[in-house]
Chains A and B, each alone.
Chain A
Amino acid sequence: MAVLGIPILEDKYPVTMDMWPLQAKEFNRIYKFYEHLREGRFTTTRCRTCGHVAYPPRVICPECYSEDLEWIDLPKRGKVLNFTEEVRGVPLGFESPLIHAWIDLGEGSPIKRILSRIINCPVGKLQEGSEVQLVVFEVPSHPIEVKKDTKWVERVFFAFEPVEK
């Protein structure tokens, strides 16, 4: 866990320097999104005042500024509209191949399209029109200080994977 070469940071995890969201409720008012991911649900917020669905989830409605929001489920399956496959030069923290897809979540979805990473998929497998589905995985946990105690916070994130393995 030490940061090599920075003696004053020895045994520290500089969580503000990694690419994963701070998900603990002490630091995030939309922490339920991540709790839902752990339950296999892909969710966002809908305004009870005007009905607007926003993604990503909010603490106010961006249309009417109401705070009266509820959680709703988004489709967990979609169709690939286009995609790219990166083999060389993948950034630190990600594995090759790094595949991205522009995904159509379907006519019924309040959020039409999403750009996501595709995992569990070799190069050459994905096609335009391929069906993909939500997949949730663990990402590095980190310590937070709560009053005088140190609490270890586990984290998750999501991507999509081909439906046909």
Chain B
Amino acid sequence: MAAKRNACIIAGGMCKWGVREASLVDMAQEAAKECLEDIPALKPKDIDGFLFATSYAGRCSFQVNTAPVIAERLGLKPTSICARVDVLCAGGSTAILMAKGLVESGMADIVMVAGGEKLYTPQKWEVFYSELASIDHDWDAPNGLGLPPPFFALIAKEHMKHYGTTKEQLAWVSVVNYNYGAENPKAQFQKKLTLEEALGAPPVVPPLTLYDCCPITDGAAAVIIACEEKAKDLTDRPLVYIRGGAQASLHSVSANWPGEHLADWAHLRVAAKRAYEMAKVGPEEVDVAETHDCFSISEVVEVEELGFCKKGEGGSFVESGQTKIGGKIPINTDGGLLSCGHPFGATGIRQGIEIMRQLQGRARFQVEGAEIGLTHNLSGLNVEHTIVIYGREPVK
């Protein structure tokens, strides 16, 4: 029997994220250039597979079948796979998991996984109007739930009601993540944030205020996923393996929410259990993580459901500094969604880049000796959860 093939993440890059004077196709080129500059031995012609994660190309750029369009601009001529991936906010992580499967099955050897969104259209009303497509069109969109702040405000109120979480604890999520992002030149905001500023910010949907919410963002990112043999030929850096992952989608319409209440994310627990089993690690072995902080409250619930702390203690976990460097598990060390922004299809790829750098020992805020890293996304109206677990060693 042939030896098991392992998939590694070996390079990554992203363009400047924010309100960009550039098209989706332009930003994909900027991200791909930085990605290939991260691995000089790799040439575009060596890449045999291409996955592009985007959700709004059809709506905001009037462009479907996006992958061949972008592949051509990047000088890629994929011969194993060339496809678009759409899982909205989790599209990038989904494409990374798909690339793992393609590489490990032997269908592909070297896959570029890229993603991006161009969300700022020429007229501002359309930017917000487009987002109504993010959720179940016939049942939740007509209730005005397409822009996510009301739903996550409701989750925050539920967490406060059931577990006594405070507004100040939510603010600490923003303070920690903004202060990581302040040093990240690619982030939408390079702003040091104080607790006083966070608490004094204008309301969005109470109890959420300005710094509790990630912005709308244009951006793109790209990584290279290769089989272990090719990876060893292409780079002398420590190899980072994709050990496992999972994606759980238990409902779509909000009325079918799978938890006991809205601060109980049963679907995240299901995804986490399966991802940890596949990666053969437990939450206590994760050294560094990127969680989906689309809102401050999201990270509070996620650290609980991912098993980093007990259920209900997410607020005090963050407030007590456990997500800072030196804490129990540093989280969102590149700034997270709150500071980097959130061009949906690119977000999971940005997270993958940060975890790769952490495990290779070249992150901006380095977690010393990090061996296991985890990324997490949710998408839409909190309708699915996606987890990728990376490690310095393959699963044995």
Contact = CB atoms under 8 A, between A and B. Distances in A.
Interface of A: 19-21, 55-56, 81-94, 98, 100, 102, 111, 113-117, 139, 157, 159
Given A21-B137, A100-B143, A111 B255 contact: yes
B149 interface: yes
A82 B263 CA distance: 12
B138 A21 contact: yes
A85 B150 CA distance: 8
Identify which of B140, B154, B206, B253 gathers the most chain A CB atoms within 10 Å of its CB: B154
B157 interface: yes
Contact of B142 (A81, A85, A86, A157): A157
A102 B262 contact: yes
User: Chain A at the B interface: mostly helix, strand, loop or mixed?
Assistant: strand
Identify which of A56, A87, A90 gathers the most chain B CB atoms within 10 Å of its CB: A56
User: Chain B at the A interface: mostly helix, strand, loop or mixed?
Assistant: helix
Identify which of B140, B144, B253 gathers the most chain A CB atoms within 10 Å of its CB: B144
Q: Lowest 3 A-B CB distances belong to which pairs?
A: A21-B138, A115-B254, A94-B144
A82 B149 contact: no
Contacts of A20: 142
A85 B204 CA distance: 10
B203 interface: yes
Nearest to B147: A91
B255 A114 contact: yes
Contacts of A98: 144, 150
A85 to B, nearest CB: 7
B312 interface: no
Identify which of B128, B145, B253 gathers the most chain A CB atoms within 10 Å of its CB: B145
A19 to B, nearest CB: 5
A100 B125 contact: no
Range, interface on chain B: 35 or more
Interface of B: 125, 128-129, 131-132, 137-147, 149-151, 153-154, 157-158, 161, 203-206, 253-257, 261-262
Nearest to B162: A82
Contacts of B144: 90-91, 93-94, 98, 100, 117
Contacts of B153: 84, 86
A21 B140 CA distance: 10
Given A19-B141, A115-B255, A100 B149 contact: no
Given A19-B146, A89-B204, A56 B154 contact: no
B149 A86 contact: yes
Given A19-B142, A91-B132, A139-B142, A85 B253 contact: no
Nearest to A21: B138
B157 A115 contact: no
Nearest to A128: B161
25 contacts: A20-B142, A21-B139, A55-B256, A56-B138, A56-B253, A81-B261, A82-B262, A84-B157, A85-B206, A86-B205, A87-B203, A88-B204, A89-B204, A91-B144, A92-B125, A100-B143, A100-B150, A100-B151, A113-B255, A113-B257, A115-B154, A115-B254, A115-B255, A117-B143, A157-B142
Nearest to A159: B143
B145 A100 contact: yes
Contacts of A82: 154, 157-158, 161, 262
Contacts of A81: 261
Contacts of B255: 55-56, 111, 113-115
Contacts of B142: 19-21, 139, 157
Nearest to A113: B255
A116 B141 CA distance: 10
Nearest to B130: A17
Contacts of A84: 150, 153-154, 157, 205-206
Identify which of B139, B142, B153, B203 gathers the most chain A CB atoms within 10 Å of its CB: B142
Contacts of B147: 89, 91
Identify which of A88, A89, A90 gathers the most chain B CB atoms within 10 Å of its CB: A89
A87 B206 CA distance: 9
A91 to B, nearest CB: 5
A117 B129 CA distance: 18
Contacts of A86: 149-150, 153, 204-205
Given A82-B154, A84-B206, 10 more contacts: A19-B132, A19-B141, A82-B158, A83-B157, A85-B206, A86-B149, A89-B204, A92-B125, A100-B144, A117-B143
Nearest to A18: B132
